[in-house]
Every structure is written in C-alpha cells, then in structure tokens.
Amino acid sequence: MKAIVRRSVSEEQVAALPADMPELWRRIFAARGVTERELDTSLQALLPVSALAGTAAAAERFAQAHRNREKVLIIGDFDADGATASALMM
C-alpha cells in the first residue's frame, strides 16, 4: 500500500498564492513550497536569454547551418516544452 503524506500548511501560505486560483490548488502548491513568483507566467518573469548558457553560440551555429544548407538533427523530450521547442526548431 502506498503511503500518503499529509503536509501541514498555514493559512498565510495559502493566502499568499493568487486568489483567483482554486483553493485546493493553492493548498497543494503551498504544501509543496511553491511561491507566487514561481507561478508567474508573464513575459517579465521569464529568464533573460543572457542567463541561458551557450545560447548565443547555439544560435550562431544554427544560423550557419541554415546558410550552408546543412542537415540539422533536432532532439527533444516528449513533455510539453520539449515537444513545443522541437516543433519550433523544425
């Protein structure tokens, strides 16, 4: 039998999350230590491209391959962001 772990969560933690979110979700996120900042999906909350190591070199290499009509192998995982990124690269 699988053990169920109940984590205690304070009302302050729950209240600190977005009010437009269902209370059950807020309780689950609060129990897992998720903060409002981590739930921010705005463009301003994205990491700047400069924070992603190797991005400039990768973009330059991809542009070079495109100019030279080289074949490029695109590998991505099967979750939502991996599938989306792979589709965009194609």
Q: Can you give the pLDDT at residue 28?
A: 92
Q: Is residue 68 scored above 90 in pLDDT?
A: yes
The reported pTM is 0.54
Q: Please, which residues have CB within 8 angstroms of residue 74's CB and are 6 or more apart in sequence?
A: 86, 89, 90
Question: Radius of gyration of the chain from Cα atoms?
Answer: 20
Q: Can you give the pLDDT at residue 64?
A: 97
Which tops the pLDDT comparison, 49 or 66? 66
